[in-house]
Each structure stands twice: as structure tokens, then as C-alpha cells.
């Protein structure tokens, strides 16, 4: 299992597209935070806060993470190596979990450089260190959980098609829908008293809750539940190849 995780990470970092995806992610965030004028610009806002990072990052993740995960199973299916992989002394869930962990580590790797933004704003504060530490770290945890869910969605999208482009498109759509789709449905006010329930089915409500700096058990359970659900879907798709 660890060999498979290592293989996927080396495969991603050994390709030019891997670095391009990470560079595009960091460049996009940097432009919005430090270059483009507007509400997201840290220097224009006058406040020692990187809240704009946690507003922009989920939208960038919707494209970044499906780009990372689209090849995890679809490439195996296209080249026929999926059959060889299934003969390894690993259960279907171990294979799914290994690829999921590899995808998550790659997302974590792309997110680590953003700590430079945090340190920069920390130093720019008056006085130095005048930043909401609780809210910032809570937002980072929320972003990691959100990224974890997107990885599980991207993995499922990669499993249902042997075409990487189709997997990417499906992944982007599912990430978008789970992030703001339920919130949009609830805004139609078609369901009356259960509108709040529908909102809480979406990722955004739980992500915003964590961004306040409070790690609520209900939010953690929600994220873990969604991750497990999509991993289970992926295992089912993978197992169907044996039928």
C-alpha cells in the first residue's frame, strides 16, 4: 500500500503537468492577494488578515484537485494496468485508500507554500503578530478538510471514466455542486422548514463554520462522512470491474 502511495506521488511530481498545476494554483492566489486591486488584496484592505485566501482557495481547488486526481484511475484503465493493479495482494479499499492518500498529500504539498502569505501578513501587522490566529488556523483546517473531500470526489470521477478529460469535467461539476449547489437549492425556498437542513448538506456551511476558528465535532463528522461515502462509491466502481 505504501509502495502504491509512493508510486503515485513520484508519478505526479515526475511529470511537468504536476508542477504546472501547483504553480498555477500558487500564482493565482498570489495575484489576487498581492497584485490585483480590490477587496481580496491584502495591502489594499488595511487589515492584517489572509481571509481572502480562504475565500479564493476553494474555487481554485475546484479545478486544481480534479486536475490532480483525474489520472489516478482513468490512466490505469486507459493503459490496461488496472488489471495488473487488481492482482496485487491488496483489497479494493486499500487500493482506493492508497490513491486517496497520495492525492491528499499532493494537495497538502501545494498548500504548504501559502504559509509564506501567513508569515508575511503576520510580520506586516501593527504591532507584529496582530492577526486572528484562531480564525486563521481554523480556516486552514477547514481548507484541508474541504480539499480532502474534493480529493475523494476527484478519485470517484477518475474511477468512472477512462478518459482523463471527462473525469476532470465530472470532478469539477461534483466539487462545484457539493460546495455551493445545496446552498443554491435552499435559496429557492421550495422546501420551507427544511431549507436549513439542505444548506447543511453542502460543504460551504461547514467550511464557513470552521473558518470562524471553532473546530466543531459536527463539522468534522460531516467531512469524514462525505469522504468515506465517495471512497465507498469508488470502491464499488472498482469492484464492478470484476463482475
Sequential pLDDT tens for the chain (243 residues): 777 777 777 777 777 777 888 888 889 888 888 888 877 787 777 677 788 888 899 999 999 899 888 888 887 777 767 767 767 777 888 889 988 998 899 889 888 888 888 888 888 777 777 777 877 888 899 999 999 999 999 999 999 988 889 999 999 999 999 998 888 877 776 666 777 788 888 998 899 888 877 788 899 999 999 999 999 999 998 877 655
Distance of CA 91 to the CA centre of its chain: 25
For residues 102 and 72, is the Cβ–Cβ distance under 8 A?
yes
Which pLDDT belongs to residue 174?
Answer: 95
Alpha-helical (H) ranges within 160-216 are 164-176, 182-187, 195-199, 203-211
Domain ranges, residue 130: 2-242
Are 18 and 12 in contact by the 8 Å Cβ rule? The answer is: yes
Angle of CA points 147, 148, 151, to nearest 5°: 85
Structure confidence at residue 243 (pLDDT):
53
What is the pLDDT at residue 121?
A: 84
DSSP tag of 131: S
Closest CA to 147 of 174, 108, 178, 204: 108
CB neighbour class for 79 (10 Å; exposed up to 12, middle 13-18, buried from 19): exposed
Model's pTM, two decimal places? 0.91
Strand segments, DSSP code E, in 26-116 are none
The domain total for the chain is 1
Question: In residues, how long is the chain?
Answer: 243
Q: First vs last Cα of the chain: how many Å apart?
A: 24
Alpha-carbon distance of 150 to 61, in angstroms, equals 8
What pLDDT, on a 0 to 100 scale, did the predictor assign at position 192? Answer: 67
Nine-digit cell string for 56: 479564493
Between CA 147 and CA 222 the distance in angstroms is: 14
Residues sharing a CB contact under 8 Å with residue 207, sequence separation 6 or more, in sequence order: 58, 142, 143, 145, 146, 179
CA atoms of 159 and 228, how far apart (whole Å): 15
Q: Which helix (H) or strand (E) holds 59?
A: helix 51-69
Cell of 114: 501559502
Amino acid at each position: 500500500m505504501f509502495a502504491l502511495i509512493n508510486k503515485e506521488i513520484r508519478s505526479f511530481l515526475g511529470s511537468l503537468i504536476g508542477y504546472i498545476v501547483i504553480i498555477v494554483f500558487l500564482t493565482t492566489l498570489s495575484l489576487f492577494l498581492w497584485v490585483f486591486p480590490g477587496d481580496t488584496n491584502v495591502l489594499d484592505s488595511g487589515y492584517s488578515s489572509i481571509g481572502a485566501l480562504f475565500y479564493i482557495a476553494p474555487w481554485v481547488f475546484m479545478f486544481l484537485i480534479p486536475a490532480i486526481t483525474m489520472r489516478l484511475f482513468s490512466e490505469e484503465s486507459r493503459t490496461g494496468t488496472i488489471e495488473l493493479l487488481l492482482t496485487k495482494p491488496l483489497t479494493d479499499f486499500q487500493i482506493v485508500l492508497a490513491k486517496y492518500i497520495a492525492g491528499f498529500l499532493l494537495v497538502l504539498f501545494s498548500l504548504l507554500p501559502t504559509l509564506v502569505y501567513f508569515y508575511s501578513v503576520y510580520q506586516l501587522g501593527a504591532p507584529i503578530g496582530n492577526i486572528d490566529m484562531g480564525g486563521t488556523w481554523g480556516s486552514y483546517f477547514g481548507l484541508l478538510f474541504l480539499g480532502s473531500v474534493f480529493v475523494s470526489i476527484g478519485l470517484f470521477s477518475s474511477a468512472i471514466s477512462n478518459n482523463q478529460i471527462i473525469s476532470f469535467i465530472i470532478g469539477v461539476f461534483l466539487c462545484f455542486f457539493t460546495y455551493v449547489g445545496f446552498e443554491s437549492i435552499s435559496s429557492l425556498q421550495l422546501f420551507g422548514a427544511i431549507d436549513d437542513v439542505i444548506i447543511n448538506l453542502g460543504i460551504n456551511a461547514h467550511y464557513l463554520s470552521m473558518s470562524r476558528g471553532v473546530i466543531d465535532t459536527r463539522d468534522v463528522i460531516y467531512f469524514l462522512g462525505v469522504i468515506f461515502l465517495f471512497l465507498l462509491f469508488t470502491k464499488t466502481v472498482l469492484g464492478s470491474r470484476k463482475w
